[in-house]
Structure 1
Amino acid sequence: MVKRVIFSLSLGLAGGVVLSKILRTKRKAKSTGQDAGLKNWAGNLTYSTNQVHYPASVEEVQAIVKNCHKVRALGSRHSFNQIADSGENLISLQLMASVVSLEKGVHTVTVEGGMRYGELAPFLQENGYALPNLASLPHITVVGACATATHGSGIQNGNLSTTVSAVEFVNAEGEVVTLSREKDGEAFKGAVVGLGGLGVVTKITLDLQPAFDMQQVVYRNLPMSALKDHFLEIQAKGYSVSLFTDWRNQNINEVWIKSRVEDGVSTIEPELFGATLATENMHPIESESAVNTTEQLGVPGPWYDRLPHFKMGFKPSAGKELQSEYFVPVEHAYEAMMALEQIQDKISPHIFISEIRTIKADDLWMSPQYNKTTVAFHTTWKQDIEVVMELLPLMEAQLAPFNPIPHWGKLFTMAPEVVQARYEGLEDFRQLLHQHDPGGKFRNEFLQKYIYPAS
């Protein structure tokens, strides 16, 4: 309590108006119980502090950052590790979730740092625009997804951060910094997948394209052997393609193919290399109800209601699951898949499902797709953290010949020096972090471990 009073008084000296707004927003958030034993979405992580600030303007973010010794930005809490954790202060921008501007002349939209894809997408549709891709769940924040290189699928689609054309953030000195693709070149490429290390991202600008309709179909029971000679062909069957497997019987349980509908005409093949077309809507986990999955069976609909696997209006539960994900160069897709299949007897009893997707290469320093198109092996585990943490090293060992890179926001056990060695631009990124945060205000245990060399 004493600590909080001292902090409030110091802010009061900086400006009474800002102080009163900050206190109001913090009280509002606390009255909802959001800070009580604050956990991530899955419930496997309890954050190291309950000191959460809820600013409602950039000026309030500046004031908070200036008066914090250590602080981290908190998004939608969909990360499964400590990347967003702080032992002292967290900043949530959930009160800053508006569209700032829609620039039709240059086809971009600028949104505040708390905006979620599920809120942004219908607005874009209403104005005749679309994003190139979306992740499986629409409930994550735009900034959090881009800062960790989160992705959808598609052999010709980059991860979500590749649509960013400008970012605005508050650095460690409380200064507002804007970096853009057009004006800032290499520094911009380092800032987009910033892992929360440069500051608190208050605004982000995204490239848009004209709105489009899509359809999706699901094929059931594709033999894994069909992927040996046809992996890329199958991945090119649609705009976005996902393979779901429980690693039993060398079988791909479901193939989800999402295709753009051009001029209202589309072709649906009755069979796909031995897999048969589903005749009812499916959930990625066959035994689960499909009530909350996006429409299938080739029914056309707007892009934002087909690209995610789950409906915009669906509110996910507290998430009784854990997730891991590893990326390997796409040319090793089949070999890597079969390497994981060799340990199917160990992993299959402990998973709900695994998803295999592709993501196009990009030029962002801290993106797992930097200079290489990758295949992603994403696993949704049953929520037994001890078992999962014992099995992850086995998966990593099987993938080791293919130089895997873990998703920044998922669970992994790879040695820090191994992760660091996979990023060509790491030293440049460290210098960029030092430029905007020389004292390490935004550096937490996760960044210290995986970005900086061991002391």
Structure 2
Amino acid sequence: MDPHTPVTAGAGEGGEEGADRTCWEAGKARNWAGNVSFSAATVHRPRDTDELAAVVAGHRRVKAVGSGYSFSTVADTEGALVRLDRMPKAIEIDAGGSRVRVAAGVTFTELAPRLHERGFALPNLGSLPHITVAGACATGTHGSGNANPAIAAGVREVEFVTADGTLTRLDRSCPGFDGAVTSLGALGVATHLTLDLVPAFDMEQYVWEGLRWDGLVEGIDAVTASAYSVSVFTDWNRTHSVWAKRRAGDPLPDLSFTGARPADGPRHPLAGLPADNCTPQEGLPGPWWQRLPHFRADRLPSTGDELQSEYFVPLDRARDAMTAVHDLRDRLGPVLHLSELRTQAADETWIGPGHGRDSLAVHFTWRLDVPGVGRVLPAVEAALAPFGARPHWGKVFDVAPDRLAARYPCWEEFRALRTALDPGGTFRNALTERYFA
């Protein structure tokens, strides 16, 4: 396994009860999982755009980091690491234009309630709301739903500081815009994004469990179409469940055709963990932002001590891809907490994992076992290679650069855009150099 992508071994100090387990002290900076020890010589937390521009212009290498929930080295740098959490938390809602201009360091926890109060919503959210808006868009983060593209697809304008400290704005009318939102922070440091909004809506969440594997595979199209947002949780062996999130007024999801039954109480995706960490279930209606994520903003997200990987395959190859991973179940078991299957509509972002095709996202929540994951990851990637699997940029992966480049029609366009906007390589790091040098 190449050390650049899965990053360094060593778990850090994980295991705290709080949601924020990151560290941002220079020389000790680490991500939430503790598997990434940042190489940055200095850490900066500017208070406004002028301070940010001065930091960027004054350093040879710069990378911005969001909330620290990425598991790859996408935000690592040997130079200056920049956090935007002290910048003004601008949330400017344009009701007439159904849009919001939001500061890059704002999290979905901070943004979503404000939108709902004004009668607006984002079409979709990721499985946890603790992450920053800019970080989610830069890495291709997504929710679920056959008609729902990645979060970045809703961005209509991005503002960022380039290497010489200049503030640049690109919108949908600009050449290169489709390469500038999901950009891995390789073009500059984002300061603000403007996103499309939809009218606020209420949702209900239902958990079905006890699915048969054959019923799940054969019925995957109907399963993913059963609600506005659908997640399938599986250990690839005996445990399979579906979390169906429907918009109020839509038909009730019915997964009985898979052999499933409604859960008789609240559930955590991983058996044995407290369900009160999760958003309300059992059909209890509530605002979109309190149902679309799996995990509550004030509780520990996901399992805690973990690594994550995720791969996007064409949705029309879902059955074959699921079967290929299922064949590895005995090898996965010792290092796997749980997998999640979600769908995503196609988008136009050049290096977004959903570019140009509707996708099934195959997610792995691993135990915090770097060597163990390193041993099984090549088998997973080999099994999914026939389907042109594209990894999530913020997760652990090791696809060879030439193979990954062949899976993206606009790969060379992104390389050219990066060269044009960052000719001196201020925002390069080991990951982007491996894939886009």
TM-score, scaled relative to structure 2: 0.92
Higher helix fraction: Structure 1 or Structure 2? 1
Evaluate the alpha carbon distance shift between residue 259 and residue 441 of structure 1 in structure 2; reply closer, same or farther with a 3 A threshold: same
- Give the conservation status (yes or no) of the 8 Å contact 1:246–1:352: yes
1:206 aligns to what SS in structure 2?
strand
Residue in structure 1 matching 2:226, options 234, 237, 242 = 237
Structure-1 separation of matches of 2:297 and 2:287: 12
Map 1:24-423; keep pairs closer than 5 Å: 34-35=25-26, 37-96=28-87, 98-181=89-172, 183-184=173-174, 186-249=175-238, 251=239, 253-262=240-249, 267=252, 269=254, 271-316=256-301, 319-423=304-408
**Which aligned runs of 4 or more in structure 1 are off by greater than 6 angstroms?**
none
Give the number of aligned pairs.
Answer: 415
Following TM superposition, by how much is the alpha carbon of 1:267 offset from its aligned partner in structure 2, in angstroms? 3.2
TM-score, scaled relative to structure 1: 0.88
Structure-2 separation of matches of 1:314 and 1:266: 31
- Give the conservation status (yes or no) of the 8 Å contact 2:295–2:301: no
Structure-2 separation of matches of 1:431 and 1:34: 35
Structure-1 separation of matches of 2:116 and 2:24: 34
Structure-2 separation of matches of 1:319 and 1:292: 11
Structure-2 separation of matches of 1:309 and 1:356: 13
Structure-2 separation of matches of 1:433 and 1:36: 28
Following TM superposition, by how much is the alpha carbon of 1:323 offset from its aligned partner in structure 2, in angstroms? 0.4
Structure-2 separation of matches of 1:99 and 1:298: 34
Following TM superposition, by how much is the alpha carbon of 1:332 offset from its aligned partner in structure 2, in angstroms? 0.9
2:279 partner letter: T
Structure-1 separation of matches of 2:302 and 2:343: 27
Following TM superposition, by how much is the alpha carbon of 1:333 offset from its aligned partner in structure 2, in angstroms? 0.6
- Give the conservation status (yes or no) of the 8 Å contact 2:227–2:253: no
Following TM superposition, by how much is the alpha carbon of 1:231 offset from its aligned partner in structure 2, in angstroms? 1.3
- Give the conservation status (yes or no) of the 8 Å contact 2:71–2:307: yes
Evaluate the alpha carbon distance shift between residue 167 and residue 135 of structure 1 in structure 2; reply closer, same or farther with a 3 A threshold: same
Partner of 2:7: none
1:237 partner letter: S
- Give the conservation status (yes or no) of the 8 Å contact 1:222–1:272: no
- Give the conservation status (yes or no) of the 8 Å contact 1:99–1:109: no
Map 1:423-442; keep pairs closer than 5 Å: 423-442=408-427
| Superimposed CA distance per residue, residues 263-304 of structure 1 (whole angstroms, 9 cap, x where no aligned partner) | xx7635483421000010010012211011000001100000
Following TM superposition, by how much is the alpha carbon of 1:99 offset from its aligned partner in structure 2, in angstroms? 2.5
- Give the conservation status (yes or no) of the 8 Å contact 2:246–2:252: no
Unaligned runs of 5+ in 1: 1-31
Structure-1 separation of matches of 2:142 and 2:88: 21
- Give the conservation status (yes or no) of the 8 Å contact 2:99–2:197: yes
Q: Which has the larger radius of gyration?
A: 1
State the identity as a percent: 44
Structure-1 separation of matches of 2:253 and 2:426: 54
Structure-1 separation of matches of 2:42 and 2:386: 43
Partner of 2:5: none
2:357 partner letter: K
Unaligned runs of 5+ in 2: 1-22
